[in-house]
């Protein structure tokens, strides 16, 4: 029987619980799901590509049929190269629809055999976006429950790198005293 491989493309800057909810749903209906993180040197991101990939890999290792990869260039070219027949995208609200419809139809024009499949995340995540998570974290707000704990920790380190370097400061201080 033919295996159905799907690509779940996105920026994932950072990944949220909404993305994980969708990945879990996708992993149940596709034989293989490849989470493909966009490599876009023109767009400034909060987390580097390597950081995003590492966090995504850690948070998806519980699903055997989910892999994490990065891609550049046209998504359809990447999908063809991976022998995928479907693209998974999440739709939260009507406001997502216009952009997603335009992208799905353009992708269909470029690669007619590639089917875009839309899924809805759990209601609890219907208002959640990476952009809002970044903004709230940057302004010192509480993002608990919106992103996995690992991402929450990494966001805190990005916003306030002091704790990470606290030990280094103590070390330097003790060396200065000795000299």
**Which residues would be at the binding site for ligand PNS (CB under 6 A)?**
9-11, 38, 74-75, 103, 106-107
Cβ contacts of 147 within 8 Å, gap of 6 or more: 14, 15, 16, 17, 133, 155
DSSP state of 74: -
Catalytic position from the list 45, 130, 134, 154: 130
- Residue closer to ligand PNS by CB (options 106, 170) is 106
Determine whether 130 is an active site residue. yes
Catalytic position from the list 19, 52, 53, 134: 19
Determine whether 43 is an active site residue. yes
Three-class SS state of 131: helix
- Residue closer to ligand PNS by CB (options 108, 158) is 108
Catalytic position from the list 53, 89, 92, 154: 92
- Residue closer to ligand PNS by CB (options 50, 106) is 106
What gap in Å lies between CA 14 and CA 158, rounded to an integer? Answer: 12
Q: Least distance in Å: CB of 104 to ligand PNS?
A: 8
Angle in degrees, CA 63, 66, 68, rounded to 5: 125
Determine whether 92 is an active site residue. yes
Strand partners, 32: 5
Determine whether 62 is an active site residue. no
Cβ contacts of 122 within 8 Å, gap of 6 or more: 18, 21
Q: Least distance in Å: CB of 126 to ligand PNS?
A: 16
What tokens does 178 get?
Answer: 């000795």
- Residue closer to ligand PNS by CB (options 143, 163) is 143
The residues assigned a catalytic role are 19, 43, 92, 130
């Amino acid at each position: 029987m033919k295996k159905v491989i799907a690509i779940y493309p996105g920026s994932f800057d950072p990944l949220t619980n909404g993305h994980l909810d969708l990945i879990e749903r996708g992993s149940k209906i596709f034989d293989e799901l490849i989470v493909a993180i966009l490599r876009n040197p023109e767009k400034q991101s909060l987390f580097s590509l390597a950081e995003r990939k590492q966090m995504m890999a850690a948070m998806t290792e519980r699903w055997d049929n989910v892999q994490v990869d990065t891609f550049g260039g046209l998504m359809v070219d990447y999908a063809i190269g991976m022998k995928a027949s479907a693209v998974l995208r999440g739709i939260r609200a009507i406001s997502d629809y216009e952009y997603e419809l335009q992208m799905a139809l353009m992708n269909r024009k470029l690669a007619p055999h590639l089917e875009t499949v839309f899924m809805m995340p759990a209601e609890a995540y219907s208002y959640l976006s990476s952009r809002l998570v970044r903004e709230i974290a940057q302004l010192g707000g509480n993002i608990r429950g919106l992103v996995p704990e690992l991402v929450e920790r990494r966001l805190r380190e990005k916003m306030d790198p002091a704790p990470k370097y606290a030990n280094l400061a103590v070390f330097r201080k003790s060396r200065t005293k000795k000299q």
